[in-house]
Amino acid sequence: MTASLTLVVLMAVLFGAGISIMLERSITRVLIGFLLVGNAVNILIYLMSGAPGLPPILGDGVDPDEISDPLPQAFVLTAIVINLGITAFMLALIYRSWWLAQLGAKGDLVDDEEEDAQDAEEAADLIRSSAADDAAIQEIIDASDEEPDEELEREASARDADELDEEVRR
């Protein structure tokens, strides 16, 4: 089996660089290292298909030495797709982890989730219970029985007057 020296050297460099970057502490660098090593492995698989530059097509009367093995190329395609998917997931994970780091230990949780839920539940209970309805109606009736608040009335009439003024000016 013959192989291209350039590809072998490239593979070795990618492996070396990738592994050394993977040993860093930052996840982003680990991801970059994974990409490099992943591509190094892909080249390793590709190297197994024999001499470079030959077409991977077997026809009638074609000498098997004149073609390159198509199977490693199919392997590489699959491996590339898998790497792509995992890289996308890792990027999402890194973004999430960065996001959590920005927000501290609490993350992006809403503070008073439980309180909110409790309030909502109480409100729902109030709406449901007819006794509460009765109480509310009674309250309104009581309120209407009281003397109208003079100050509120004055304010309301002042607002009306302002609005009239504006219309006149137009």
Query: How many angstroms separate the CA atoms of 31 and 114, rounded?
Result: 37
Measured from the CB atom, is 58 or 135 closer to another protein? 58
State both tokens at 104.
């501290």
Q: Which of 10, 45, 51, 67 binds another protein (CB under 8 A)?
A: 45
Assess contact for 99 and 108: CB atoms under 8 A: yes
Q: Which 81-120 residues touch another protein, going by CB under 8 A?
A: 82, 85-86, 89-90, 93, 96-97, 100, 105, 107
22-54 as b/e, with b when 16 or more CB fall inside 10 Å? beeeeeeebbbbbbbbbbbbbbbbbbebbeeee
Report the distance separating Cα 59 and Cα 79, nearest Å.
27
Determine if 10 is a binding residue for another protein (CB under 8 A): no
Query: Judged by CB under 8 A, which stretch of 31-39, 126-134, 138-146, 157-165 contacts another protein?
Result: 31-39
Residues that bind another protein (CB under 8 A): 1, 22, 27, 30, 34, 37-38, 41, 44-45, 47-48, 69, 71-72, 75, 78-79, 82, 85-86, 89-90, 93, 96-97, 100, 105, 107
